[in-house]
Amino acid sequence: MRISSTCEQCCSGGPCQFTPVYRRDMQGRPAGRQRYNTDLPPDRNNISAERGPYDYDRTHVFTSNFICYLPRLARGSLNQPVLRPVLNGWQLSGIVRMWSGYPLDAVMNYDVAGIGGTQNQRPNAIADAQGPRTTDQWFNRNAFARPANGTFGNLGRNALRGPGVNKWDIALFKNFKVSEGKNVQFRGEMFNAFNHPSFITVGRTLSTTATAINPLASNFAVVTDTRDARVVQFGLKLTF
């Protein structure tokens, strides 16, 4: 299911576009038609247990782009012939992305069910696994238990959610006229302008042995990778 809308309007003399999206991509058909060869259902006799969000599902997606003319700054005592070309005529543009995270599938690294391979076997869920969403513990690592030998866990496929995206890329620029047909553009750009932490990978393998589990091992529930921090760059461009 996907619900989306786009709104376009002028923002102080420039265009703005907003695109909020609500989507829910669910997987419920036989796994052989939906999964890669290495991503197999643990219990082939209970395909319905594999119903859950697709690996690429992002439930909420908000994307916006804008370009705006900033108010004139050369006013009052600053309204001088020398200052007007420098202070006036600046433009601000940007792209905003606010997306929810991809689903996560918590799996064990031991063949508890005795099927001849670990094959994406999941643990039992014994508590709410959501939170606390910190880098040391993105989800509740103590919300799981080892299933009995010869059985499959009750945790659903992709029952957890990974980190989302909150990223603002902003540019401030101005065109200066040098002479007839020649212009210089000064441009300052900030990627991830507000330096919002943007995490990527979360450990999802629950260390499992013949008798127990160890949720503190193998970086289970720990954030192990991030996207780039703030990047700032400046440039000059001559057009003629």
Q: How confident is the model at residue 223 (pLDDT cuts 50, 70, 90)?
A: very high
Query: Does residue 48 lie within any of the structural domains?
Result: yes
> Average per-residue pLDDT in the chain?
85
Q: How many domains does the chain have?
A: 1
| Residue 80 located in a structural domain | no
Classify residue 113: in a domain, yes or no.
yes
Specify if 149 maps to a domain. Answer: yes
Nearest Cα to Cα of residue 156 among 195, 132, 180, 123: 123
Say what the pLDDT of residue 180 is: 82
| Number of Cβ atoms within 10 Å of the Cβ of 194 | 10
Residue 73 placed within a domain: no
pTM score? 0.77
In a domain, 121, yes or no: yes
The pLDDT value given to residue 33: 39
Q: What is the pLDDT of residue 87?
A: 77
Give the domain extent around 38: 25-58+101-239
Residue 31: predicted pLDDT: 39
Residues 37-70: tens digit of each pLDDT: 566 789 888 888 888 888 889 888 888 888 888 8
- The pLDDT value given to residue 179: 83
Residue 86 has pLDDT above 80, yes or no: no
